[in-house]
Every structure is written in C-alpha cells, then in structure tokens.
A = this chain, B = another copy of it.
C-alpha cells in the first residue's frame, strides 16, 4: 500500500526555505499545480480545472445534497455536544471563551467522516488533480461560532506543512465542504487568486510546540505585510461565499485566511487535506519535533480508494 517517497533524498529545504533567518521574499513555485496530464479523465468541467490551475482554487457548487449536508451537520453538532467537556488534543477551542472551534482527525475517529474521506466527489477529484495515489494528511470539522468567531490570519498551509511536518513538495490540496451558508459577512474563507504560484518565505523561527498556539492564533509562519500586499494587488481577494453543500478546493500553497464573525450566523465545514502518497512527510525542518499524528498523518498513512458512498446506511 505504501509507495517510496522519491523526494526524501532531495535537498527540498533549499527549494522552499522559511523561518531560517533569511528575509521575507516571494520565491517562484517550482512544482506543478495540476499534476494531471489528460483532461479527458477530469471529473469536473475543463473550465473548473483551468480555474483551479490558474487561481489556486475553485468553488464547486451543489456537490452535496441538502440531505447529505443535514447528515454531516447533525454529526458535527452531535460531536460538539458529546465532546463539549472533552479535553483531548484533537479538540481546539476558541481563545477566551472555550467554545469548540475544530475537531481534528475525524476521518479516523468518526465513521461518517471516514466514509466522506473516500467519497469519489472529493477523493476522486483529489486523485485526479494530484495524479497519484492519495491519503488524508489532515482532517477536521470546523465550527466558527456566531458573535465571537475569531479571525484566522493569512497563511499558506504548505509553508507550515513543509517546515513543521516535513512535507517535501507542493502536491497536496484541501477540500472544504461547507455545511452552512457562507455569506460575505460571517467570516468566509478569503483567498488570494494566483498566490499559489509564489512561495512566501516567512521571517522568524518556530518555537517548540508551536502548534498548540498556532491553531488558535497564528504567530509564526506569517507572511509579511509587504508580501501579502504584493500578492493581493496582483490577484485581488475572493470571498468564498455560497450555499451549504458547496466544496472549495484549494491548492496547498494558496494564501488564505478569514475575518472575524460577529454575526449571529455560525459557519461550519468539514475539511480534508489530501496529499500525494509520493509526497508523504519526512522529517520536519530545523530539527523540529514532529507534530502529533492528529495534525499530520505520519505513522498511520493509508492510501484511499475513491468510491461512490451511500450515506443512506449511516
């Protein structure tokens, strides 16, 4: 099931350096965005594939039915209720008031979301775009509460996964299945089109166990004002708005973040990160201790076989 990681021996840290004392700057991406060669096998329209390649993300509407979304939402609510007082590391709370913000590793711990991880509409698409066998690098359900939902500052996931997890190259992507309507005003995902073509070298170093605080508030691996300005002036900013049941697919290096949510309307989603099996993580950079398994599949990597899932039996 496991394939050889062909990048392990390469000096990938010289290709995408960060937090190593060198100044903030943009490096050009050297990896492909679209690994697939043959568009005839694409599971989505060619124009959508093109959008993904050029912008670094694509929003697919009406992928999941109302019934499926209701099922996922009910499961998320059930998890929030039953784990409300749970203190395991997989559960991340809002700073200040302690409401649950995210629950990680749901593709392993939860039967429904385990099924979802192999759902052809997600896993099949990821396998196509990455043109490799795939596995789940990370999964989570996110709940951005109304009234006091905090912002999440700009970041490239890849920068973190590369430095803190040792993900060699840009051959991973995230899918976010929206369980609530994303309005422009309730803190939707913001993305910078075209930012995936540049690697933003971040200043500063990484403190030990950074992940404990970074999941609540990012302090390291933060792109500089000047780099963000450069990228946003070139590509603009897009708010990923849309009805529940949409899927936002974005490249691992697309710069994204979200503002606060003061509205009464919460925002929730299920998140799956697919990585190419050939791109599985090696040692973290700078001698950092590997982050826990719930943030980064390292020991428990299982290749996924995309399939048609019937949630009727859940």
Contact = CB atoms under 8 A, between A and B. Distances in A.
Contacts of A184: 184-185, 239
Contact of A259 (B225, B257, B261): B261
B264 A185 contact: no
A270 interface: no
Nearest to A232: B264
A190 interface: yes
A260 B263 contact: no
A297 to B, nearest CB: 29
A237 B154 contact: no
Contacts of A237: 183, 185, 263, 265
A262 B225 contact: no
Contacts of A232: 263-265
Contacts of A187: 259
A233 B151 contact: no
Contacts of A311: none
A201 to B, nearest CB: 18
19 contacts: A146-B225, A151-B259, A151-B260, A153-B262, A184-B185, A185-B190, A190-B262, A190-B263, A225-B264, A229-B264, A232-B263, A233-B264, A237-B263, A237-B265, A257-B262, A258-B262, A259-B259, A259-B260, A260-B260
